């Protein structure tokens, strides 16, 4: 997996991390990320999906319900969150690769409260894998990699490869959290 920690700490540029990465590598990285998360959930049950973990650092200022701002995310919540972010990054990257000007977000997230089974989590991950990989088929043979955007205030400027990889980076930032939720659920 790509290590974006140097980018987040200001020690490397996103171009440094993505040197040599093209569409083929983005496919491999997407499969690796999905397989990693599925591997973490391999022995999980439905009870593990809805288990309410303890997370003293829980802080979601973007929560739909104000009462959920400090709610620790269960496994179902984490799965729908990382898949929605990956899909958004993939969709916007496909537009960038085709020369479409940035026009805002492209996000759709399954309501986490509806995900209650391990099969729903696995299905959501496989569906997201399919969608992200399919988005790469929308890239032209000669993608526009010269155009760059800043997807959000604290982000560096990036091209379509960078934009796609931000979904992978975001998912990677939640891997330890997913492992901890599974650990707590299994210890319960």
Q: Note the pLDDT of residue 96.
A: 96
Per-run averaged pLDDT (10 residues), the chain, 188 residues: 83 88 97 98 98 92 84 96 97 96 81 96 98 98 94 85 95 96 96
Contact yes or no for 94/135 (Cβ under 8 A): yes
Report long-range pairs for 45-49 (Cβ below 8 Å, ≥24 apart). 45/118, 46/116, 46/117, 46/118, 47/185, 48/75, 48/118, 48/182, 48/185, 48/186, 49/74, 49/75, 49/76, 49/115, 49/116, 49/117, 49/118, 49/120, 49/121
Q: What is the pLDDT of residue 182?
A: 98
**Angle at Cα 119 formed by Cα 133 and Cα 182, nearest 5°?**
95
Confidence (pLDDT) at 187? 95
pTM, entire model: 0.92
What's the pLDDT score for residue 134? 98
């Amino acid at each position: 997996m790509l290590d974006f920690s140097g980018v987040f700490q200001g020690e490397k540029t996103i171009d440094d991390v993505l040197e040599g990465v093209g569409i083929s590598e983005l496919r491999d990285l997407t499969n690796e990320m999905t397989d990693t998360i599925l591997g973490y959930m391999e022995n999980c049950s439905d009870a593990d999906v809805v288990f309410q973990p303890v997370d003293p650092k829980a802080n979601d200022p973007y929560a739909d319900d104000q009462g959920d701002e400090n709610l620790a995310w269960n496994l179902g919540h984490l799965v729908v969150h990382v898949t929605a972010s990956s899909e958004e990054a993939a969709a916007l990257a496909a537009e960038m690769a085709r020369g479409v000007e940035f026009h805002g977000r492209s996000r759709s997230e399954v309501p986490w409260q509806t995900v209650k089974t391990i099969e729903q989590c696995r299905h959501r991950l496989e569906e997201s894998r399919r969608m992200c990989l399919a988005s790469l088929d929308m890239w032209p043979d000669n993608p526009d990699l010269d155009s760059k955007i800043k997807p959000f205030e604290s982000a560096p400027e990036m091209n379509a490869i960078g934009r796609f990889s931000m979904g992978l980076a975001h998912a990677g930032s939640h891997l330890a959290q997913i492992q901890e939720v599974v650990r707590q659920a299994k210890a319960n």
